[in-house]
Amino acid sequence: MTGDIYFDAAHARATAVWMELQRVTHFGGVREGAGFDKLSRNGFVLNGTHANRPAMSQYQSELLRLLDSRGYIHQLTDAGGLDALAARETITGYVGFDATAPSLHVGHMIQIMLLRRLQQAGHKPIVLVGGGTSKIGDPSFKDEARKLMTTETIAQNIRSILPVYQRFLRFGDGPTDAVLMDNAEWLDRLEYIPFLRDIGQHFSVNRMLSFESVKLRLDREQSLSFLEFNYMILQAYDFLELSRRMKCVLQLGGSDQWGNIVNGVELGRRVDGAQLFGVTTPLITTADGKKMGKTEAGAVWLNAEQLSPYDFWQFWRNTQDADVGKFLRLFTDLPLDEVARLEALQGSEVNEAKKRLADAVTTMVHGEQASDAAAETARRTFEEGSAGDALPSLAVPQGEIGIVDALVGLGLAASKGEARRLIAGGGARIAGEKVEDESARISVDGQVRISAGKKKHGLLTR
């Protein structure tokens, strides 16, 4: 049914715990040997360079033309084979997501959009949440092991992030409807000795040790547990299982997933003789070279409980001029000719493009009503100087609060230390007046507007 999550009865448990299988390890390019010499001759990407990749105009499939025209393709395996298959028939592809928090963040959006594009091109997407792999934790490019989560915590996180997928994808039982699956369905049932014998034999420890994410931990003499070391094997096994259960032939992910995607492609070939494919997206950075999706206040969450729709709207409204076109292509459904028009705007007119970006993405994530309210609050706040209803608010029943506590409580600063630095730098204001004393107390009778810089505001209420 449109709008409802469909659980394939044979493959997913209605009460299962789901998670995200997202980043595992950077492969650093396909190397000769270890079974990859054959693969590299068949169109794999070598060290980030597209091998045997047709120009965009040469793609035959709607899928690859769509992904390429909007800037999603960084690396792909056997471009010709994937292009021909996607042009000939409906294919099934998946992305994995870790349930490491009660909300996904902007960094996950590129992968969700990949699934959306897959469905828009007439193919079937699978959202794979890892109730099994979440119990281990992805070690990729982490300085230390993730804190192990209980099954209950994983389940709570999954329930919390589930509605996000429904906003981007059409779920149901049709041939191109999305399906939600949980890798605990097969991982929790594995028998250790048979798994080592049947699957472990296809993995080289020498090559696994050469992965950049592993080398970084070892070079720093930081512990890498055997538990974490097995994560990359389990992700490859997920691809094998989805191939068997759902005839899934495509795994999509970020560029840091390249090595693990190749592992899954190779495992399917060795064990079942299956022809599988992989596509990765580039690392999304802003014009100044920073990783997209992080702010001084922390992650840009997709759930309204973690970040208000107004602050989410403001994040996109504050996009740098040089990034507007790229973000419109990646994160909205606006036609490419309209994107080109907006991207060409200069001077103050570029603000129109930024507002269109903020409106479109906020509508997709939070709904049209929340987007409109955020836009109206921004207009009233910045154009009229009044306080909009969608600003984050903090109740102060006692009628008085310190400025540091107010900044943190409103989410305008991530910590008290950051709040003090903001005050010292002259960026904190009470009702438009600069705060110079970090010990200042605020009397609240009605509403008091608190500002952090020029673009972040909140209301104290009583």
Is 75 known to be catalytic? no
Is 108 known to be catalytic? yes
Is 235 known to be catalytic? yes
The C-alpha angle 260, 263, 264, rounded to 5 degrees, equals 95
The C-alpha angle 21, 27, 30, rounded to 5 degrees, equals 130
Which of 108, 117, 217, 317 does the annotation list as catalytic?
108
Which of 31, 50, 74, 142 does the annotation list as catalytic?
142
Is 100 known to be catalytic? yes
* Phi, psi of 376, rounded to the nearest 5 degrees: -70, -40
* Phi, psi of 35, rounded to the nearest 5 degrees: 85, 0
Q: What token pair was written down for 53?
A: 């990749």
Is 105 known to be catalytic? yes
CA–CA dist 362, 310 (Å, integer)? 9
- Report the relative pairing of strands 277-281 and 250-254 from DSSP bridges: parallel
307 to each of 176, 201, 391, how far by Cα in Å? 32, 46, 11
Is 295 known to be catalytic? yes
Determine contact, residues 393/458, Cβ cutoff 8 Å: yes
Is 447 known to be catalytic? no
Is 119 known to be catalytic? no
CA–CA dist 324, 286 (Å, integer)? 10
Which of 275, 295, 329, 355 does the annotation list as catalytic?
295
Determine contact, residues 443/431, Cβ cutoff 8 Å: no
Burial of 32 (0-12, 13-18, 19+ CB in 10 A): exposed
Q: Give me the sign of the Cα torsion angle 45, 46, 50, 52.
A: negative
- Beta-sheet strands, E only, within 320-419: 393-395, 400-402
Is 146 known to be catalytic? yes
Which of 83, 238, 256, 359 does the annotation list as catalytic?
256
Site of tokens 């209980």 = 150
Which of 215, 294, 355, 416 does the annotation list as catalytic?
294
Which of 235, 319, 363, 381 does the annotation list as catalytic?
235
Name residue 450's beta-bridge partners: 430, 458
Q: Which residues are catalytic?
A: 100, 105, 108, 142, 146, 235, 256, 291, 294-295
